[in-house]
A and B are shown apart, each in its own frame.
Chain A
Amino acid sequence: MEFLPLKIADRKDMAQRKMWKEMTVTSDGHHLNPTYVYKVVLLGSMAVGKSSLAFRYVKNSFRETMPTVGCSFFKQMIRLETANIMFEIWDTAGQEKYHSVCHLYYRGARAALLVYDISRKETFNRAKLWLRELEKDFLHDEIMIILVGNKTDLVTEREVTSEEGKEFARSKGLLHAETSAKSNHQVTDVFMAIAQKLLQQEQQKETMPVQSQSWKKSHVDLRAPNSNQIKKCCKS
């Protein structure tokens, strides 16, 4: 749908434009691939490992982090065979005082990682509340939600079983994964899964426009605000 070169030029985002140019010049064979920009947001309670997940994914390392202040922003480029994907990752603060501004960070997101700590049950319950928040602001197919149980390295202190997570995710139509940012377990896989899925959606949209996609909805006009939303995401 939206191709990066155009969008980026619109945004006058020179850093990204440079990156794109470099890509067209250097990566042989890839330069004809479209590039998609997706906003991905990390949500969840305090100290469940949101920043660590982002840090592991973007920098591939781990350190004890301090609580995030407000929100941290990262960019990460993925090159796939058929397309390039630029993730704009918004790592939000889990602290309650920032909740009032959180919608600001997740507005226009195409994917959300709802993170909980498998060794703290209350963070799992909190993730359920986050889901309700998201459901208020997004239509079901507007955003891909992945329920992520982090800290599998603390398996001996586990309070949320794998099945429990999976079952809840299934009942709500979410994806589910268990990760450990500390021991680098499945972190990249989660982001890759998001990339693949979003790309799939993109291709579906291209081949089968509107109707077949929104079979769940009775009115086509529901799509209007929806697609606006998507455009916003790429501009935001």
Chain B
Amino acid sequence: MEQISKDFSELSTQLTGMALDLEEEMRQSKEDKLDLSPQTCRRDSVLSGKEEEDVTMDAWRMHQKHVFVLSEAGKPVYSRYGSEEALSSTMGVMMALVSFLEAEKNAIRSIHADGYKVVFVRRSPLVLVAVARTQQSEQEIAHELLYIYYQILSLLTWTQLNHIFQQKQNYDLRRLLAGSERITDNLLDLMARDPSFLMGAVRCLPMAAGVRDAVSASLQQARAKSLVFSILLSRNQLVSLVRKKDQFLHPIDLHLLFNLISSSSSFREGEAWTPICLPKFNSSGFFHAHISYLEQETDLCLLLVSTDREDFFTVSDCKRRFQERLRKRGVYHALQEALRTPFYSISQVGIPDLRHFIYKSKSSGLFTSPEIEAPYVSEEEKERLLGLYQYLHSRAHNSSHPLKNIYFTGPNENLLAWVTSAFELYVCYSPLGTKAGAISTVNKLMKWIRKEEDRLFILTPQTY
């Protein structure tokens, strides 16, 4: 008991310590701050040789969002910044907090102090903790932590994870996750700048409906008995997805697959064949995924998910057949053409005050959004815009007070959110417009989306 209260006080001093640093940081010039941004501090090297930050440094404390994963025995599993070893005592304190409240038949969800949110997510046998000074709500941070949990499951399966800790409570899970930290790092970076995760939806590569249909038909024809999903994507944008009848791919699983592919350049060479668990589909077993790029110098990546780990050559042949069909149908060139314009400009919509929007179709789990243009040029500005959307999203989806319509006036922009049972729309206007003006243009925007929907979305999903 004494130990725990000591740990408590240690933690609280640490938290205030960070806040003091924050104040100091505010006084420093902007350039200095840039150096401390997560991007520059990211571990860029690969394996054990990854650059570890000194966890006693201010720079370490200044990160926008820390994420820690630990086992129930308090053993470090993952830390976004800094080496896990150096943080083992910090993680011990976290575990102490969790178990102290559990002993009282209660559960700790978050601590709010000095602009920081410390959010806990408990998924036995793991505990996930985020220390964030972003504008996100507790709910959203917890949602991101869940993604990290699913990411770990996708590497190990829930069954294996549980089995390991049942066998040995103080097992060092880092042994099994070694070499995969960058996948988790990449996921966290992606979540900070890609609205897909916030929306719980996937973005499609805009292209003529005819081309997409031809691609889907080619994918559909290149089937094999063991195939469950055939997915063609380009840089985190979906081109086509064909699935087995009655089998559905959850957006979270699709995000994990996208993240896996974007986190490693190793798929660019040869053909990869890897066990992967899709936790939302089935957290107890592995699929086998065949991952390869269609050509050396393209971003088109083909992902074939099979139930049979022995089926490499059959699945590999599906890829060849798919490519052959593409060529026969003569759509390969049109596909390459579509890759050249992966984003459309907001000016195409033709509404003067409109800066940006996100439209999510709930039934399909797909969303569309134009390129982020001026004034959101720098990475910081882009993340700030995403932050505003996050704020609106959290207000709209607040579990105790959900909202359907929100109009938000800020110093640099005005925003509007509209949530219905069929769609969600988040719009960003210049700060000079009025509320009435914004509302009147929403209809025009919706009309434009309707007109373009067969280019922006996949309207007729294919099955084998």
Interface residues of A (CB under 8 A from B): 11-15, 46-47, 51, 54-55, 58-59, 64-74, 91, 93-98, 101, 104, 236
Contact = CB atoms under 8 A, between A and B. Distances in A.
Q: Classify the secondary structure of B's interface with A.
A: mixed
Contact of B270 (A72, A101, A104): A72
A13 B317 contact: yes
A73 B182 contact: no
B177 interface: yes
Contacts of B177: 97
B180 A95 contact: yes
Given A13-B317, A96-B176, A66 B275 contact: no
Contact of B274 (A58, A70, A96): A70
A101 B289 CA distance: 13
A104 B273 CA distance: 11
27 contacts: A12-B317, A14-B320, A47-B46, A51-B269, A55-B269, A58-B270, A66-B263, A66-B265, A67-B47, A67-B182, A68-B272, A69-B264, A69-B272, A69-B291, A70-B272, A70-B289, A71-B273, A71-B274, A72-B271, A73-B273, A91-B270, A94-B179, A96-B175, A96-B176, A97-B177, A97-B178, A101-B275
Give 3 closest A-B pairs by Cβ, nearest first.
A70-B274, A95-B179, A67-B179
Nearest to A75: B270
Given A97-B176, A98-B274, 19 more contacts: A46-B48, A47-B46, A47-B47, A55-B269, A58-B269, A64-B46, A65-B266, A66-B46, A66-B263, A67-B182, A68-B272, A69-B272, A69-B291, A73-B312, A91-B270, A93-B274, A96-B178, A97-B180, A236-B313
A68 B266 contact: yes
B156 interface: yes
A93 B260 CA distance: 15
Given A47-B46, A64-B46, A98-B275, A69 B265 contact: no
A187 B211 CA distance: 44
B269 A97 contact: no
Contacts of B270: 54, 58, 72-74, 91
A4 to B, nearest CB: 15
Contact of B48 (A15, A47, A54, A72): A47
Contact of B266 (A12, A69, A97, A101): A69
Contacts of A94: 179
B462 interface: no
Nearest to B183: A69
Interface of B: 46-49, 155-156, 175-180, 182, 260, 263-267, 269-276, 289, 291, 309-310, 312-313, 316-317, 320
A94 B179 CA distance: 9
A72 B264 CA distance: 13
A51 B260 CA distance: 18
A72 B293 CA distance: 12
A93 B177 CA distance: 12
Contacts of B274: 69-71, 93, 98
A74 B312 CA distance: 12
A2 B320 CA distance: 25
A58 B269 CA distance: 10
A71 B178 CA distance: 16
A64 B45 CA distance: 9
A97 B156 contact: yes
A70 B275 contact: yes
A212 to B, nearest CB: 34
A68 B317 CA distance: 22
A93 B291 CA distance: 15
A155 B87 CA distance: 34
Contact of B317 (A14, A70, A72): A14
B176 A15 contact: no
Contacts of B178: 46, 95-97
Contact of B155 (A12, A46, A54, A97): A97
A236 B291 CA distance: 19
A71 B316 CA distance: 13
Most chain B CB atoms below 10 A, which of A12, A65, A97, A98: A97
A197 to B, nearest CB: 24
Contacts of B179: 46, 67, 93-95
Contacts of A66: 46, 182, 263-266
Nearest to A95: B179
A158 B182 CA distance: 28
Most chain B CB atoms below 10 A, which of A51, A67, A96: A67
A71 B264 CA distance: 13
Contacts of B155: 97
A67 B275 contact: no
Contacts of B176: 96-97
Given A15-B320, A69-B272, A70-B274, A51 B266 contact: yes
B260 A69 contact: yes
Nearest to A235: B313
Given A15-B320, A68-B266, A74-B270, A101 B309 contact: yes
